[in-house]
């Protein structure tokens, strides 16, 4: 797989979090010569939260983990790459139960303390034998790095994705580390992506759930590569409690402001890395919408632009065809007044009050389009609603990757 031209220069040097351990293994079930199984174990009394795909065809591991997440407690998360265990009926459910029971027996805990995630090809039955045979070694050797963990969950990704931040809760230094995977089948309502964020903060599951949902809306639910929502999207937030900060039960407590900001920073970093690794991507596109009636409408407008094949292919071809942005806004049919629309590209004015600006010069726009980072600004009125979404261009590379995905 050719490295994305938008890839970061290196994987961050992420610190270990006390109470969170990692292990990886190569099962050979689909990929040869690389790890494809990740085990994350959590210290007793850790808290967990999760957000999952809203797809009506959610995979068996999603259904299982969604139930576990409601308890706010787990001791391990096991993830396999290569087979999504989605649309596999009774066999898929049995595979999940087998994985949970096998890992629980190895860890000497209950199956309902095990969360499961899968990513890969949809519709193929998952043979758990090759996976469960590695559980003993995984449990015995929980010394993997965050980078190794990130590499073990990749499918069509071209690089491992990691991010971390530090913050303070009531005078205590707190660490947040996150990894994610995703390249195609990426669209809001969770975008095939998996995300894992760990922290040493001592926070109850109810607080984690609120903070994760808040951060998710500003990150993973604000990206799109191809408008296709996956069957397996899952993001987990784990808190080991090893920082031993003062207990906080109100997610809106001002003492959590720094933590919430850091969590959004980590999830946004991971989310934009996923877009940078969009299948066939050569350009990262940031779209800012202002002046909408509310945030929801602003996001709908931003996503209409971000998901337009005509907009994305024009950008791939470095064609400053901003008329396609106008089309994408209008196709929503939500009552936007043409005379209220203004458009900027790369910080340069293109249109004001529903028409091209007088003396329009396309030269600076064309120069901006030749770069890797594309910025589009759209104002649709005088409302207070605003939103930012990220996407990538649509190239021949996307077709090549997905035409041969299973070969």
The b-or-e profile of 179-188 (16+ CB within 10 A means b, else e) is: bbbbbbbbbb
How many CA within 13 A on the CB side of residue 75? 15
**Chain-centroid distance, C-alpha 357:** 38
Measured CA to CA, the distance from residue 227 to residue 301 in angstroms comes to 14
Strands 47-52 and 234-239: antiparallel
| DSSP states along 294-358 | SHHHHHHHHHHHHT-HHHHHHHHTT---THHHHHHHHTT-S---GGG-EEEETTEEEEETTEEPT
The residue assigned the tokens 């094949």 is 309
Measured CA to CA, the distance from residue 238 to residue 241 in angstroms comes to 9
Measured CA to CA, the distance from residue 51 to residue 195 in angstroms comes to 10
The backbone region for 26, taken as left when phi is positive above 0, alpha when psi lies in -120 to 50, beta otherwise, is beta
CA-based R_g, the chain, Å: 22
Measured CA to CA, the distance from residue 229 to residue 188 in angstroms comes to 7
Q: Could you confirm whether 192 is annotated as catalytic? A: yes
Residues 24, 41, 192, 229: which is the catalytic one?
192
Local structure of 236: helix, strand or coil: strand
Measured CA to CA, the distance from residue 358 to residue 78 in angstroms comes to 59
Spatial CB neighbours of 17, under 8 Å, sequence gap ≥ 6: 175, 177, 198, 199, 200, 240, 242
Tell me the CA distances in angstroms from 402 to 123, 124, 314, 392, one per residue in order: 16, 17, 20, 16
Give the number of other CB atoms < 10 A from CB of residue 255. 15
Task: Retrieve residue 169's tokens.
Answer: 């809760």
Active site residues: 192
């Amino acid at each position: 797989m050719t490295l994305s031209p938008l890839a970061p220069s290196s994987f961050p040097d992420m610190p270990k979090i006390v109470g969170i351990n990692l292990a990886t293994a190569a099962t050979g079930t689909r990929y040869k010569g690389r790890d494809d199984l990740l085990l994350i174990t959590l210290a007793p009394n850790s808290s967990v939260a999760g957000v999952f795909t809203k797809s009506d065809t959610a995979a068996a591991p999603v259904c299982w983990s969604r139930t576990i997440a409601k308890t706010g407690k787990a001791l391990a998360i096991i993830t396999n790459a290569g087979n999504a265990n989605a649309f596999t009926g009774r066999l898929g459910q049995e595979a999940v139960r087998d994985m949970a029971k096998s890992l629980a027996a190895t860890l000497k805990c209950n199956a309902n303390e095990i969360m499961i995630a899968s990513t890969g090809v949809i519709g193929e039955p998952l043979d758990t034998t090759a996976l469960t045979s590695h559980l003993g070694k995984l449990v015995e050797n929980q010394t993997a790095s965050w980078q190794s963990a990130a590499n073990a969950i990749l499918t069509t990704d071209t690089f491992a994705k990691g991010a971390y931040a530090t913050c303070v809760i009531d005078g205590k230094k707190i660490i947040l580390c996150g990894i994610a995977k995703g390249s195609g089948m990426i669209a809001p309502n969770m975008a095939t992506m998996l995300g894992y964020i760990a922290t040493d903060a001592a926070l109850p599951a109810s607080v984690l759930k609120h903070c994760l949902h808040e951060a998710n809306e500003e990150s993973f639910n604000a990206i799109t590569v191809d408008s296709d929502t996956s069957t397996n999207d899952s993001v987990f937030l784990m808190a080991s409690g090893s920082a031993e900060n003062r207990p906080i039960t109100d997610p809106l407590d001002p003492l959590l402001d720094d933590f919430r900001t850091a969590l959004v920073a980590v999830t946004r970093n991971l989310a934009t890395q996923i877009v940078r690794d969009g299948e066939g991507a050569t350009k990262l596109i940031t779209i800012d919408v202002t002046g909408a009636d509310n945030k929801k409408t602003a996001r709908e407008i931003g996503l209409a632009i971000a998901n337009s094949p005509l907009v994305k292919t024009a950008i791939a071809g470095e064609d400053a065809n901003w008329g396609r942005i106008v089309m994408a806004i209008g196709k929503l049919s939500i009552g936007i007044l043409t005379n209220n629309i203004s458009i900027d590209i790369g910080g340069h004015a293109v249109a004001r009050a529903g028409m091209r600006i007088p003396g329009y010069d396309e030269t600076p726009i064309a120069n901006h389009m030749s770069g890797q980072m594309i910025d589009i600004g759209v104002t649709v009125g005088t409302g207070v609603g605003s939103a930012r979404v990220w996407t990538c261009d649509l190239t021949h590379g996307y077709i090549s990757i997905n035409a041969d995905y299973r070969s």
